[in-house]
């Protein structure tokens, strides 16, 4: 198998085991899609050609910002609007844009979930309803459930901000990749505790759906320690792939590669 193109984040489908495909682009047009689960257990070669193309404009760049953008695109594109990282800043439901009102209304004035997920520990997060379970898979969660459902993004963000004083909103990516967990309580117990801590004016959005989604990843063996690889420093990788979790490839020598952080990089992939 040999494939060439610009990386985008892997697509994932929930099943007994998450099924991954890696889309490769000819600059801005999708060229092919590589089924990744079948490569687990095999030696793969990933070679960076030296080219990086902005995922927004397609122009060749020396350095990527955000997820594969030129500096100008990172500063101006709605794909990098601050309310993506800080949903409490979104005002699209009021007709106020941070960058692009039409884009923000289309994506942010839609039902959103506040959720709890077990990644390295239990964390709180926010995502659009249409991004479930993709968001959970991308962060490497092994379990998740809903805490609240809101009609627009800012309300979810306000709940998340209020709960940050009581629970983490970040993942320890190294522990996530080692499959090491710090929490001893269950998601259900945490939900009961945190629902009481939602501000009174937002309690109406609390979710009664207590379904826990379990997620299994195509991993043959979890590493005891992890070292991250970047194609900027290691442009040629040839190793045995022993697992995929989140947006990471896990190799047999305890190195890992985050494909999402390499969006726009042109590679030659062989197995």
List, for residues 136-164, the tens digit of each pLDDT value.
999 999 999 999 999 999 999 999 999 99
Contacts of 213 (CB under 8 A, 6+ apart): 14, 133, 136, 143, 144, 145
Which of 214, 238, 253 terminates a domain? The answer is 214
Domain that holds residue 184: 79-214
Mean pLDDT of 169-182: 96
Q: Looking at the structure, tell me whether residues 184 and 104 fall in a common domain.
A: yes
pLDDT range class, residue 64, cuts 50, 70, 90: very high
Instruction: Report the relative pairing of strands 227-228 and 255-258 from DSSP bridges.
Output: parallel
pLDDT over 90 at 184, yes or no: no
pLDDT of residue 271: 94
Q: Looking at the structure, tell me whether residues 27 and 88 fall in a common domain.
A: no
pLDDT of residue 183: 82
Mean pLDDT of 54-82: 97
pLDDT range class, residue 174, cuts 50, 70, 90: very high
Which of 168, 192, 214 terminates a domain? The answer is 214
Q: Hey, how many other C-beta atoms are within 10 angstroms of the C-beta on 204?
A: 10
Mean pLDDT of 59-68: 96
Which pTM value belongs to this model? Answer: 0.95
- The widest CA-to-CA distance across the chain, in whole angstroms, is 56
> CA–CA distance from 22 to each of 31, 144, 244 (Å)?
11, 24, 11
Question: Mean pLDDT over all residues of the chain?
Answer: 97
Q: Looking at the structure, tell me whether residues 226 and 252 fall in a common domain.
A: yes
> CA 74 to CA 56: how far, in whole Å?
9
Q: Looking at the structure, tell me whether residues 88 and 210 fall in a common domain.
A: yes
> CA 161 to CA 256: how far, in whole Å?
31
> CA 80 to CA 91: how far, in whole Å?
16
Peptide bond between residue 133 and the one before it cis (omega within 30 degrees of 0): yes
Q: Looking at the structure, tell me whether residues 142 and 58 fall in a common domain.
A: no
* 232, 51 Cβ separation under 8 angstroms: no
Q: Looking at the structure, tell me whether residues 95 and 168 fall in a common domain.
A: yes
List, for residues 188-231, the tens digit of each pLDDT value.
999 999 999 999 999 999 999 999 999 999 999 999 999 999 99
Q: Looking at the structure, tell me whether residues 99 and 209 fall in a common domain.
A: yes
Mean pLDDT of 230-255: 97
Give the total number of structural domains in the chain: 2
Q: Looking at the structure, tell me whether residues 95 and 195 fall in a common domain.
A: yes
> CA–CA distance from 50 to each of 3, 12, 131, 218, 261 (Å)?
16, 27, 32, 30, 16
Q: Looking at the structure, tell me whether residues 34 and 138 fall in a common domain.
A: no
């Amino acid at each position: 198998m040999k494939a060439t193109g610009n990386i985008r984040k892997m697509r994932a489908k929930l099943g007994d085991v998450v099924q991954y495909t890696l889309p490769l682009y000819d600059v801005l047009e999708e060229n092919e899609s590589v089924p990744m689960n079948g490569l687990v257990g095999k030696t793969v070669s990933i070679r960076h050609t030296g080219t990086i193309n902005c995922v927004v404009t397609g122009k060749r760049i020396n350095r990527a910002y955000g997820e594969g953008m030129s500096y100008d695109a990172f500063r101006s594109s709605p794909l990098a609007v601050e309310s993506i990282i800080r949903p409490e800043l979104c005002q699209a439901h009021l007709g106020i844009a941070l960058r692009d009102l039409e884009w923000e209304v289309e994506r942010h004035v839609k039902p959103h979930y506040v959720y709890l997920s077990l990644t390295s520990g239990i964390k709180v997060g926010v995502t659009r309803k249409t991004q479930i379970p993709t968001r959970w898979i991308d962060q490497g969660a092994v379990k998740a459930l809903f805490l609240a459902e809101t009609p627009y993004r800012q309300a979810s963000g306000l709940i998340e901000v209020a709960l940050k004083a009581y629970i983490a909103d970040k993942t320890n990516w190294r522990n996530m990749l080692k499959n090491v967990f710090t929490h001893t309580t269950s998601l259900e117990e945490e939900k009961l505790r945190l629902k009481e801590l939602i501000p009174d004016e937002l309690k109406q959005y609390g979710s009664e759906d207590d379904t826990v989604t379990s997620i299994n990843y195509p991993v043959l063996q979890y590493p005891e320690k992890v070292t991250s690889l970047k194609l900027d420093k290691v442009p040629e990788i040839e190793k045995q792939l022993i697992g995929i979790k989140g947006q990471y490839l896990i190799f047999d020598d305890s190195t890992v590669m985050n494909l999402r952080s390499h969006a726009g990089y042109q590679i030659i992939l062989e197995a």
